[in-house]
């Protein structure tokens, strides 16, 4: 007898099945607590849907889908000043996007399947769920332009074709920067001992530049008290990104702290009692994910703020015995200089217009920002 396979789509995490968190144990970014962060403080141009996959009425998979309205953000930062053909075409033909995955993170945070289902069965249900969501939006008067699933490394990339994903283009974007903590490291001194002279000098120089800066772990109340300044610092960094698909709302970090408590760390950097920078970390099992950060642009170079934040993250991860730091995308070269290694990240994408979809590969290459950088080798 054929198994009974179906899916359900939820708009609130609290209405998802009771067994949801049992499946989410290996990835905090699919847990109910984290999904509540997205419910309460997602970017304004984003709507989230939580998908339960069922086999014979038993929950066998969980997934996150996001609708993103790209027409509501300035996507290409370098072309804001005047009319941009790239910006016009992008918004005209690709602004309504439906993604299985999490556009605010890097890595495979799209779905989890239990042992009760096969990968093919799970992916087939996700393909059906994407189609159902596309129809939901059509009934609202929103025509979805792009369908996508992201982010997979080479080993994780599943067989989408076998699961019925027809007409999709496989794409590769900026790499995920992964820092692996060596087993013989018990403190930052062990890390420094493995650096070459050049990069040990870089570390010492950065630390000297940070003289006078006080680093402090902030509570939910303190995050709230500094909300405006935090948001200003966040926008300083986000505004310089080459490609933007969203901006976080002002209350995002305090909601994050409220929902994840000790699994979410917010560090403020103060100079003469003024907040000049911050970074955020998320504990995810054996790995530690870096999240958004911000800094005062007038002090960034002088105090080598960004580099010092990276060293602080490395120090914390070694001390707390994590296996990896997920440094995500952006600033690849400086992350490489502290020891992170690039991991290629893939996804699949399809335009809902069959004619335009024939040119998806070329269009993706046209819209994807080209960022040149040189990998560094800081270890002996």
Spacing of C-alpha 219 from chain mean position: 23
Exposed (0-12), middle (13-18) or buried (19+): which is 365, by Cβ within 10 Å? exposed
State which residues form the domain around 290: 177-342
Q: What is the pLDDT of residues 232-285, one digit of tens each?
A: 999 999 877 666 788 999 999 999 999 999 999 999 999 999 999 999 999 999
Q: Judge whether 353 lies within some domain.
A: no
Answer yes or no: do 307 and 283 share one domain: yes
Answer yes or no: do 123 and 189 share one domain: no
Among the candidates 116, 144, 166, a domain finishes at: 166
Answer yes or no: do 205 and 146 share one domain: no
Closest to 12 in 3D by CA, of 45, 37, 44, 43: 37
Answer yes or no: do 182 and 160 share one domain: no
Residue 153: partners with Cβ closer than 8 Å, 6 or more residues away: 108, 176, 343, 344, 345, 346
Spans of the chain below 70 pLDDT: 72-93, 241-243, 366-369
Report residue 48: phi and psi, to 5°. -110, 145
Q: Judge whether 141 lies within some domain.
A: yes
Answer yes or no: do 190 and 280 share one domain: yes
CA distance 306 to 206: 10
Q: Judge whether 128 lies within some domain.
A: yes
Answer yes or no: do 210 and 331 share one domain: yes
**Residues 188-198 as b or e (16 or more Cβ within 10 Å = b):** beebeeebeee
The total number of structural domains that make up the chain: 2
Specify the CATH number for the domain of residue 222: 3.40.630.30
Q: Judge whether 376 lies within some domain.
A: no
- Asked whether 294 and 300 are in contact (CB, 8 A), the reply is no
Answer yes or no: do 243 and 127 share one domain: no
Sign of CA dihedral 111, 149, 49, 279: positive
**According to the model, what pLDDT value does residue 1 have?**
77
Q: Judge whether 209 lies within some domain.
A: yes
Q: Judge whether 267 lies within some domain.
A: yes
Answer yes or no: do 157 and 211 share one domain: no
DSSP state of 76: -
Q: Judge whether 26 lies within some domain.
A: yes
Answer yes or no: do 155 and 206 share one domain: no
Token couple for 261: 């408590």
Answer yes or no: do 152 and 182 share one domain: no
Report residue 259: phi and psi, to 5°. -85, -40
Q: Judge whether 358 lies within some domain.
A: no
Strands (E) in 57-159, as ranges, are 58-69, 96-100, 111-113, 146-152
Among the candidates 97, 132, 166, a domain finishes at: 166
Among the candidates 136, 166, 196, a domain finishes at: 166
**According to the model, what pLDDT value does residue 366 have?**
64
Answer yes or no: do 194 and 331 share one domain: yes
Answer yes or no: do 286 and 197 share one domain: yes
Specify the CATH number for the domain of residue 73: 3.40.630
């Amino acid at each position: 007898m054929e198994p009974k396979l179906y899916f359900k789509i939820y708009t609130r995490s609290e209405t998802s099945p009771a067994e949801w968190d049992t499946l989410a144990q290996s990835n905090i970014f699919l847990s109910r607590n984290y999904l509540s962060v997205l419910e309460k403080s997602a970017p304004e141009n984003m709507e989230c849907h939580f998908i339960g996959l069922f086999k014979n009425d038993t929950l066998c998979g969980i997934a996150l889908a996001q609708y993103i309205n790209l027409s509501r953000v300035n996507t290409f930062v370098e072309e804001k000043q005047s009319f941009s053909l790239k910006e016009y075409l992008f918004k005209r033909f690709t602004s309504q996007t439906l993604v299985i995955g999490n556009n605010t993170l890097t890595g495979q945070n799209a779905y989890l399947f239990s042992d009760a289902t096969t990968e093919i069965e799970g992916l087939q249900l996700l393909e059906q769920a994407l189609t159902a969501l596309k129809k939901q939006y059509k009934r609202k008067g929103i025509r979805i332009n792009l369908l996508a699933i992201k982010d997979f490394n080479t080993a994780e990339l599943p067989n989408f074709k076998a699961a019925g994903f027809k007409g999709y283009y496989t794409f590769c974007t900026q790499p995920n920067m992964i820092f692996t903590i060596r087993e013989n490291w018990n403190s930052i001194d062990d890390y420094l001992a493995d650096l070459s002279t050049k990069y040990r000098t870089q570390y010492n120089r950065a630390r000297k530049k940070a003289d006078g800066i006080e680093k402090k772990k902030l509570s939910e109340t303190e995050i709230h008290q500094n909300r405006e300044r935090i948001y200003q610092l966040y926008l300083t960094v986000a505004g310089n990104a080459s490609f933007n698909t969203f901006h976080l709302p002002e209350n995002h970090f305090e909601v994050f702290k409220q929902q994840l408590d000790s699994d979410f760390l917010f560090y403020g950097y103060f100079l003469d009692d003024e907040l000049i920078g911050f970074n955020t970390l998320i504990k995810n099992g054996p790995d530690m994910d870096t999240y958004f950060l911000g800094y005062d642009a007038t002090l960034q170079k002088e105090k080598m703020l960004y580099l010092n934040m990276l060293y602080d993250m490395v120090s914390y991860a070694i001390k707390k015995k994590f296996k990896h730091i997920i440094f995500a995308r952006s600033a690849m070269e400086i992350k490489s200089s502290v020891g992170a290694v690039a991991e290629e990240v893939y996804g699949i994408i399809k335009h809902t217009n069959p004619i335009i979809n024939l040119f998806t590969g070329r269009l993706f290459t046209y819209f994807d920002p080209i960022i040149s950088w040189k990998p560094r080798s800081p270890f002996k």
